[in-house]
Structure 1
Amino acid sequence: MDTQRIHPYENRAVLKEYYAKYLKDVRKVKDSTVKHYFDALSYISRYLKEKNLLKRDIYEVMDLQELASLREILYKDPDFMAFNKQGHQMYSAGLNNYFRFASGEFIEQENVDAKEMDMPLEKTGFNDTPEKPSLSYIATSKHWKRSSILRRQTLAFAHYTCELHPEHKTFLAQSTHKPYMEGHHIIPMVMQPSFDHSLDVYANLICLCPICHRQIHLGLKEERKDMLKEIYEQREERFEKSGLTLTENEFVELGLR
Structure 2
Amino acid sequence: MNNREKFIEWMINNSGRSKNTINKYASAIATMSRELTEHSTINIDIYKVVDSIEIHRIKEQYLEIDELREKDERGNRMYTSSLIWYQKYLEEDKKLNTLVKDNSNEYSIVYEKKVKGEFTISEGTKQWKRDRAVVDRSIEFSNNKCEYDDKHEYFISNKSGKNYVEGHHLIPMKYQDNFEYSLDVEANVVSLCVVCHKILHLGRIEDKVNIISKLYQLRINSLELSGLEISLDELIDLYK
Instruction: Report TM bin, short chain.
Output: 0.5 to 0.7
Cα displacement (A) at 1:111: 6.2
Asked if 1:109 is matched to 2:93, the reply is: no
Tell me the equivalent position of 2:111: 118
Please tell me the residue identity of whatever aligns with 1:233. Answer: Q
Cα displacement (A) at 1:222: 1.1
Distance 1:201 1:107, change over 3 A: farther
Asked if 1:143 is matched to 2:127, the reply is: yes
Asked if 1:174 is matched to 2:167, the reply is: no
Gaps of 5+ in 2: 1-92
Gaps of 5+ in 1: 1-21, 29-105, 122-129
Please tell me the residue identity of whatever aligns with 1:234. Answer: L
In 2, the alpha carbon distance for the partners of 1:232 and 1:202 equals 14
Tell me the equivalent position of 1:8: none
Cα contact 2:164–2:193 (8 A) shared by 1: yes
Asked if 1:253 is matched to 2:237, the reply is: yes
Cα displacement (A) at 1:240: 0.8
Distance 1:150 1:189, change over 3 A: same
Of the three residues 195, 203, 212, the one matched with 1:211 is 195
In 2, the alpha carbon distance for the partners of 1:195 and 1:27 equals 26
In 1, the alpha carbon distance for the partners of 2:157 and 2:235 equals 32
Cα contact 2:111–2:186 (8 A) shared by 1: yes
1:52-201 → structure 2 map (5 Å cutoff): 106=101, 109=104, 114=109, 117-121=110-114, 133-138=117-122, 141-201=125-185
Cα displacement (A) at 1:170: 2.4
In 2, the alpha carbon distance for the partners of 1:189 and 1:27 equals 25
In 2, the alpha carbon distance for the partners of 1:246 and 1:152 equals 24
Distance 1:234 1:113, change over 3 A: farther
Determine which structure has greater relative contact order: mean sequence separation of CA pairs < 8 Å that are 6+ residues apart, divided by chain length.
1
Cα displacement (A) at 1:109: 3.3
Cα displacement (A) at 1:212: 0.6
In 2, the alpha carbon distance for the partners of 1:137 and 1:23 equals 41
Cα contact 1:107–1:157 (8 A) shared by 2: no
Cα displacement (A) at 1:133: 2.8
Q: Given the two structures, how large is their TM-score scaled by the length of structure 1?
A: 0.51
Cα displacement (A) at 1:110: 6.8
In 2, the alpha carbon distance for the partners of 1:155 and 1:178 equals 11
In 2, the alpha carbon distance for the partners of 1:214 and 1:186 equals 13
- Total equivalences in the alignment: 147
In 2, the alpha carbon distance for the partners of 1:243 and 1:206 equals 17
- Indicate the percent of aligned positions where both proteins have the same amino acid: 30
In 2, the alpha carbon distance for the partners of 1:108 and 1:167 equals 29
Q: Given the two structures, how large is their TM-score scaled by the length of structure 2?
A: 0.54
Partner SS for 2:151:
coil
Could you list the per-position Cα deviations for residues 140-188 of structure 1 after superposition, in whole angstroms to 9, with x for gaps in the alignment?
A: 6531111111111111000101000110112222221221110000101
Please tell me the residue identity of whatever aligns with 1:153. Answer: R
